[in-house]
Structure 1
Amino acid sequence: MTQPYVKQNIEKGISTIEFFHPAHNSLPGDILAKLVDEINSAGENDEVKVIILKSGGERTFCAGASFSELININDAETGRVFFSGFANVINAMRKCPKFIIGRIQGKTVGGGVGVASATDYCMASKFAAIKLSELNVGIGPFVVGPAVQRKLGLTGMSQIAIDANTFYDAEWARQKGLYAQVFESTEALDEGVQAFAENLCDYNPEAMREMKKIMWEGTEDWDTLLAERAVISGRLVLSEFTKETLKRFK
């Protein structure tokens, strides 16, 4: 079985940050922490003009929170720390002075939808359906909610958060504003992402930095907000409902 990893490759001004986990690219705490480090380092690196965020493997972009870690949370503080991992990634992406292009090759669930929503420009294959499944296990998309709402609007976010069993297809996500472009195949997606990133490298980095600040205006309270949301999730994950539900996933 391939080992989990987060790696960064910098070429011609483009930083490609890739994460992988054999359990459908789910995100345990250590992978979340490494993602924060790589996003911060690319943001601070003068060589980097633009960032591509992607996951390894063919089929799933990201399955969200790691079930094996969720099952083992037995106190509120551990829960808070775990869900803060997602808050930290979203905040790192928000504060990063470079544009982050999302490359979404396949289905994305829960926290993965939050990560996709926190990119500045998101490109997907037609296989990249989305689902906010948190309500299914007795919690809710509290930490990722602000990022998802910022992209889909309150109506779109509410729809997929309440209808927690349903995958919404890539075209729905495009119409709602999460995806800027949807491609027929992963190969076409990769070509599109690469060409788009190369094009951005020709722009004025200072202008892009100022634009990014303006695009994220109104989110300055997210350090506090997402930390508060992590406390809610950390509490709910201890509920009888969630404990019973998670047992079924063992």
Structure 2
Amino acid sequence: MELRAIPDSMAPTVVEKIDAELGRIEHRHGVSIGLAIESGSRAWGFPSPDSDYDCRFVYIAGLHTYLSPWRTRDVIETPLTGLLDVNGWDLAKAMRLLVKGNAVLIEWLMSPIVYRGDARFRDELRALAAEVADRNQVARHYLHLGARQWKLFGSGGSLKKVFYALRPAMALRWLHEHPDAAMAPMHLPTLLERCELPADLVSAVRELTDLKSRTREMGSGTAPAPIAEFIMAEFDRATEAFPKTPDRDLARAKALTAEFFRKQVIGN
């Protein structure tokens, strides 16, 4: 079954350009796109009126590419065109990063906005990710990402940058409240709904999100107190709750991802 989930808020002309670009990529590079999603602030749930369109995809090359002794690039990048940013990873690269604990592929799999894809491919890849992803490594991915953004924001700056620390902090809260899971939603409103949070925090986040949705320039200032306190508290707790673990045995994870990879390549 073909996947397609495009909200009415997205400009049809831009979506048409993304669709056309994905088609050109498949034809020009001789690859099959298994999943193409939106990865930026539109999928995160806090777009501005002028937010970019950040299409990301996972592709499978032809068998001859994987059997060649000459390595090819494992990414496909296209030039930035206006608001369009369209880039993707080879499935092999996606598998390697998933096993290493990189949460980017997990986020792509959880995106609520899908340009194209095969439902079975996404479902099976989600199941694989849930089985091989290491909770602590995924959490520390969010901790490092969020802490870096919060440090860049400092005591004050562009208010839109608050979201780049808030979303990782909210993902950490979700992981804390779901101790058996490693794949947090990427969509900020969904995280708000699925976590136990103080009312003043939820209200502050919704007000800031509404402001960002209505204006191209939010201006500078300090983060609302409930948000700032939440971000710092979650980062402090995550440092202890998700410690850096010793090198784990990756044999099983590598075997499972290799099996999935071979299935997709031979089938394509």
Q: TM-score range by the shorter chain?
A: 0.3 to 0.5
Q: Which has the larger radius of gyration?
A: 2
TM-score by length of 1: 0.35
TM-score by length of 2: 0.34
More helix by share: 2
